[in-house]
A = this chain, B = another copy of it.
Amino acid sequence: RINGERLWAALMELAQIGATAKGGVKRLALTDLDKQGRDLVVGWGREAGMSITIDQIGNVFMRRDGTDNTLPPVMTGSHIDTQPTGGKFDGNYGVLAGLEVVRTLNDLHIKTRAPIEVAFWTNEEGSRFVPVMMGSGVFCGAFSLETAYAAKDTEGKTVGEELARIGYKGEQVPGDHPIGAYFETHIEQGPVLEDADKVIGVVPAVMGLSWYDCVVTGMEAHAGPTPMGLRKDALQVATTIMQEVVAIANRYPPYGRGTVGMVQVFPNSRNVIPGEVTFSIDLRNVNDELLNTMHGEITAFIDATRDRTGLGISLERVSYYPPCPFHPDCVGAVRNATEKLGYSVMDVVSGAGHDAIYAARLAPAGMIFVPCKDGISHNEIEDAKPEHLEAGCNVLLHAMLERAVA
């Protein structure tokens, strides 16, 4: 069993770096605060006897040797960068749970056959630099190191410059680093576990997602003198599409998701009929065929709406991640560990993307979820219970042992 108090203490100490007034953390990727956070975690890793490797995109791997170091390591990890209005647990928990596993193995003088590694990936959040999950994405070859280096923040600073500046531009070629199996513990970022009153979520898969930008073009005109029948009200047409996004998701329960999160109205004046409305569409499903069906339905609805209204409507897909089923061996290891430890458990499909989906392209992977308060994350009020974090870490320990000792 791991030491829950030590895990909590590490989380609270790391959360000091970039702590916000409302109890959250603001530690954006590749800032001075990120460097401080990285230095603290790397220091803890060295104290725990681990050797450190940094790759060219700044991913950090902390290694505890096994008895057979020709075997690829059993890895765990996550990220320590945060959202601008981030919390103490998102990402940080996955990294410090890995550290706690190693500290526990040291305490108990347990030797594993395969080496154990704790990784933290660069810029998972994507708040300062896009794309999101940058470090793991470069690592698995989803996009190139050059693309990542060239990414700019709003002040024009690049990832390449900032990595060098904080001293985390390493030598290792990204991906030139074998992985035997990958586990990631994370707060759920949703309300399912809390709602069902379960402690551990076994994650069979991560949903695929399609992101779109939709623009409806009508004609702006004065709200008073323009008769209803002569209007080209872009907002009225846009609202029917916004409702269809949710209707589509509701037609594909339980894993259909449909969200319009971002809306811009032009000219956005009280007595002017909107001439143009731009909005985002986020569709998800754990089944790629259903995700594709949902894609077909929004496309068809928009085509029909264009014909019906005569207004201009464009729909552009700006991102697509296919669903990511995790490996039966890793999912099984998590399930076995949970059963052995006797925690209440349920399957929870991850609705959010994680570094694990990129790691899964290179090695068997699995995730462990624990509840977070009201399902809230990306918010300074993000919260989680010490006993749940401890339980998730115990599951991680046993799942990793199953893979690393055999």
Task: Give complex CA distance A257, B258 in Å.
Answer: 32
**Does the CB pair B262–A225 fall under 8 Å?**
no
Chain B residues within 8 Å of A263, by CB: 235, 263, 265, 268
A242 close to chain B: CB less than 8 A = yes
Chain B residues within 8 Å of A262, by CB: 265, 268-270
A204 close to chain B: CB less than 8 A = no
Extra contacts besides A190-B222, A191-B221 (8): CB < 8 Å: A192-B225, A223-B257, A225-B351, A230-B375, A239-B242, A240-B243, A259-B271, A260-B274
Chain B residues within 8 Å of A223, by CB: 257, 259, 261, 282, 284, 351
A21 close to chain B: CB less than 8 A = no
Number of this chain's copies in the complex:
2
With most chain B CB atoms within 10 A of its CB, the pick from A211, A250, A352 is A352
Task: Give complex CA distance A222, B192 in Å.
Answer: 12
Task: Give complex CA distance A253, B262 in Å.
Answer: 33
Give residues 232-253 of A contacting B (CB, 8 Å). Answer: 233, 235-236, 239-240, 242-243, 246, 249-250, 253
Task: Give complex CA distance A239, B257 in Å.
Answer: 18
With A236-B246, A239-B242, A265-B263 known as contacts, the answer to whether A226 contacts B270 (CB < 8 A) is: no
A185 close to chain B: CB less than 8 A = no
Binds B, one of A57-65, A292-300, A376-384: A376-384
Chain B residues within 8 Å of A273, by CB: 259, 261
Residue in B189, B220, B222, B272 whose CB lies within 8 Å of A224: B189
**Does the CB pair B378–A227 fall under 8 Å?**
no
A280 close to chain B: CB less than 8 A = yes
Give residues 347-365 of A contacting B (CB, 8 Å). Answer: 350-353
A256 close to chain B: CB less than 8 A = yes
Chain A 373-401 near chain B by CB (<8 Å), digits 1 or 0: 00111110000000000000000000000
Chain B residues within 8 Å of A378, by CB: 222, 272
Task: Give complex CA distance A109, B242 in Å.
Answer: 65
With A224-B353, A261-B271 known as contacts, the answer to whether A243 contacts B250 (CB < 8 A) is: no
With most chain B CB atoms within 10 A of its CB, the pick from A226, A243, A352 is A226
Task: Give complex CA distance A263, B195 in Å.
Answer: 33
A342 close to chain B: CB less than 8 A = no
Nearest CB of chain B from residue A319's CB, rounded to whole Å: 9
What band does the interface of chain A fall in when counting residues whose beta carbon is under 8 Å from B? 35 or more
A209 close to chain B: CB less than 8 A = yes
With A191-B230, A268-B261 known as contacts, the answer to whether A236 contacts B243 (CB < 8 A) is: yes
Q: List 18 A-B contacts (CB under 8 A).
A: A188-B225, A189-B224, A190-B226, A207-B224, A223-B259, A223-B261, A224-B351, A225-B375, A228-B256, A233-B246, A233-B259, A236-B243, A240-B243, A259-B272, A261-B265, A261-B270, A261-B271, A272-B378
- Nearest B residue (CB) for A220: B379
With A236-B242, A262-B269 known as contacts, the answer to whether A191 contacts B226 (CB < 8 A) is: yes
